[in-house]
């Protein structure tokens, strides 16, 4: 400890690399554009990250259980379109629960395939990404969905309202983060999620119903998607069929940036929140320094790859030291 060896420094860098890279980004952006750290901008970033953040909370469960969820983006489009459509047909009071039920059904279906039928989660959720997109288009007939009376509905409160001076989306994000953080860290279910992702066989030998845990993680994820869809619909009161397209990668990037391992068994809600903020600031910073919006895609990907690489590098170091 006193003298940190070369390997020690390597491992430190691997573990803290993201934070260091983040610090460099922040300093760079602030130098390039003084507005970057202004209160309005910071609030703006948090606010625009809320939808992504809510989805990342659910995906954190899935990733810790050792699986992937690439369907959240197109599922969010589905939720948004459905709730907007039903809003005018049956009124918001019924539309919201109806949309939640439908979205949860999608999550349950994925959970059934991955948990009980033990299908590969990458394949299943990738397939569901396009299947749900098709479902959404069928539902909407390809049309954009708009609420007729945009001024007169209280439905806008979830996306546009604010309480105690804080925008409602941020409140929802933070409350849900607190709630799910407690579920993951303090309940038997949370413990089982870690066990299933850490060593599925040992979890089974411990009497944990692995299939059920995986199933519940996907249901949890779809619940978060429904919340995100609600915020999105309420914010814009109208939407295209593709509103969530590509979000699955941002969500995954945020979760991994936070330090959850793609191999399962590690990560926390708190770290995911940090990951969401890091991603939000980086993307915002790129815009502020005048890079094109589309450059973000490239950057998001570069970040994912970097994060995964660091994760694997850290694991390798660890693996080497744990072979007894």
Partner 1 sequence: MSDQTPALRLEGIVKTFPGVRALDGVSLSVMPGEVHALMGENGAGKSTLMKVLGGIYQPQEGRIIVEEVPTVMTSPLQAKSKGIVFIHQELSLAEELTVAENIYLGELPRRSFGRVDWEKLYTQTDAILAKLKVGFNAKTIVGDLSIANQQMVEIARALTVDAKAVIFDEPTASLTDAEKVVLFDVISDLQRQGVGIIYISHRMEEIFKITDRISVLRDGSYRGTLETRNTTEEEVTQLMIGRALDLSRNESNHELGDVALEVRGLSCGHMFKDVSFDVRRGEVLGFYGLVGAGRTEIVETLFGLREPSGGKILLDGEEVRISSPADAISKGISLVPEDRKGQGLVLGMNCRDNMTLPQVGELSSGPFVAPGAETAIFDKYKEKLDIRTPGWKQTVGNLSGGNQQKIVIAKWLSMHPKVLIVDEPTRGIDVGSKSEIHNLIRDLAAQGYAVIVVSSEMPEVLHVSDRIVAMFSGRVMRTFTSEEVTEESLIQAISGITATEKVA
Ligand X SMILES: Nc1ncnc2c1ncn2[C@@H]1O[C@H](COP(=O)(O)OP(=O)(O)OP(=O)(O)O)[C@@H](O)[C@H]1O
Q: What does each C-alpha distance from 169 to 45, 98, 293 come to in angstroms? A: 12, 21, 23
What's phi and psi for 211, nearest 5 deg?
A: -60, -40
Q: What does each C-alpha distance from 2 to 5, 8, 129, 263 come to in angstroms? A: 9, 11, 51, 32
Q: Report the site for ligand X in 138-167 (rule: CB under 6 A).
A: none
In the complex, the smallest distance separating the C-beta of residue 322 from ligand X, rounded to whole angstroms, is 6
The pair of three-digit structure tokens given for residue 121, joined into one six-digit string: 């989660």
Contact 102, 90 (CB under 8 A): no
Three-state DSSP state, 102: helix
What's phi and psi for 119, nearest 5 deg?
A: -80, 155
Contact 297, 246 (CB under 8 A): yes
Residue 81 CB: number of other CB atoms within 10 A?
A: 28
In the complex, the smallest distance separating the C-beta of residue 222 from partner 1, rounded to whole angstroms, is 21
Which of 265, 267, 280, 285 is close enough to bind partner 1 by CB under 8 A? 265
In the complex, the smallest distance separating the C-beta of residue 63 from ligand X, rounded to whole angstroms, is 25
Chain position whose Cβ is nearest to ligand X: 321
Contact 199, 22 (CB under 8 A): no
Q: Residue 324 interacts with ligand X (CB under 6 A)? A: yes
Contact 58, 72 (CB under 8 A): yes
209 binds, among ligand X, partner 1, none (CB under 5 to 8 A by kind): partner 1
Q: Residue 204 interacts with partner 1 (CB under 8 A)? A: yes
In the complex, the smallest distance separating the C-beta of residue 62 from partner 1, rounded to whole angstroms, is 18
Q: Residue 321 interacts with ligand X (CB under 6 A)? A: yes
Site for partner 1 (CB under 8 A): how many residues? 31
Q: Residue 208 interacts with partner 1 (CB under 8 A)? A: yes
Q: Residue 317 interacts with partner 1 (CB under 8 A)? A: no
What is the residue whose two structure tokens read 């850490």? 198
In the complex, the smallest distance separating the C-beta of residue 100 from partner 1, rounded to whole angstroms, is 21
Alpha carbon of residue 33 to chain centroid: 28
Segment lying near partner 1 (by CB under 8 A), choices 19-27, 80-88, 188-196, 297-305 = 188-196
Pick from 247, 291, 217: which is nearest to 59 by CA?
217
In the complex, the smallest distance separating the C-beta of residue 197 from partner 1, rounded to whole angstroms, is 9
Alpha-carbon span 81 to 87, nearest angstrom: 10
262-301 mask for ligand X (x: CB under 6 A)?
A: ----------------------------------------
279 binds, among partner 1, ligand X, none (CB under 5 to 8 A by kind): none
Q: Residue 195 interacts with partner 1 (CB under 8 A)? A: yes
Q: Residue 138 interacts with partner 1 (CB under 8 A)? A: no
Alpha-carbon span 99 to 160, nearest angstrom: 20
Three-state DSSP state, 243: coil
In the complex, the smallest distance separating the C-beta of residue 271 from ligand X, rounded to whole angstroms, is 22
Which of 118, 150, 191, 316 is close enough to bind partner 1 by CB under 8 A? 191
Q: Residue 192 interacts with partner 1 (CB under 8 A)? A: yes
201 binds, among partner 1, ligand X, none (CB under 5 to 8 A by kind): partner 1
Pick from 170, 187, 75, 89: which is nearest to 131 by CA?
75
Residue numbers at the binding site for partner 1 (CB under 8 A): 1-3, 5, 7, 186-188, 190-192, 194-195, 198-199, 201-209, 265-266, 320-324
Which stretches of the chain bind ligand X, using CB under 6 A? 321, 324
């Amino acid at each position: 400890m006193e003298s940190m060896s070369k390997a020690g420094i390597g491992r430190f860098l691997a573990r803290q690399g993201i934070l260091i890279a983040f610090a460099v980004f922040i300093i760079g952006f602030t130098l390039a554009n003084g507005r970057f750290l202004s209160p309005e901008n910071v609030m703006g970033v948090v606010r625009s990250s809320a939808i992504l953040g809510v989805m990342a909370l659910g995906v954190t469960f899935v990733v810790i259980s050792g699986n992937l969820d690439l369907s959240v983006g197109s599922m969010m489009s589905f939720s948004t379109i459905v709730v907007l459509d039903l809003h005018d047909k049956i009124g918001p009071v019924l539309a919201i629960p109806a949309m939640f039920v439908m979205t949860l059904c999608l999550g349950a279906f994925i959970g059934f395939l991955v948990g009980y039928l033990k299908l590969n989660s990458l394949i299943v959720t990738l397939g569901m990404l396009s299947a749900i997109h098709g479902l959404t288009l069928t539902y909407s007939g390809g049309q954009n969905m708009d609420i007729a009376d945009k001024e007169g509905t209280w439905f806008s409160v979830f996306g546009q309202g604010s309480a105690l001076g804080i925008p409602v989306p941020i409140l929802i994000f933070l409350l849900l983060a607190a709630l799910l953080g407690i579920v993951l860290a303090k309940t038997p279910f949370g413990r089982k999620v870690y066990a299933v992702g850490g060593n599925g066989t040992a979890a089974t030998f411990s009497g944990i119903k692995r299939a059920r845990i995986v199933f519940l993680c996907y249901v949890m994820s779809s619940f978060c998607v429904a919340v995100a869809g609600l915020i999105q619909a309420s914010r814009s009161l109208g939407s295209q069929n593709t509103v969530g397209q590509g979000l699955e990668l941002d969500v995954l990037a945020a979760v991994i940036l936070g330090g959850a391992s793609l191999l399962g068994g590690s990560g926390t809600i708190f770290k995911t929140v940090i990951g969401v903020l890091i991603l939000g600031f980086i993307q915002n910073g790129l815009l502020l320094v005048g890079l094109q919006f589309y450059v973000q895609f490239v950057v998001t990907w570069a970040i994912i790859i970097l994060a995964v690489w660091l994760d694997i590098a850290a694991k390798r170091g660890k693996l080497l030291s744990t072979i007894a």
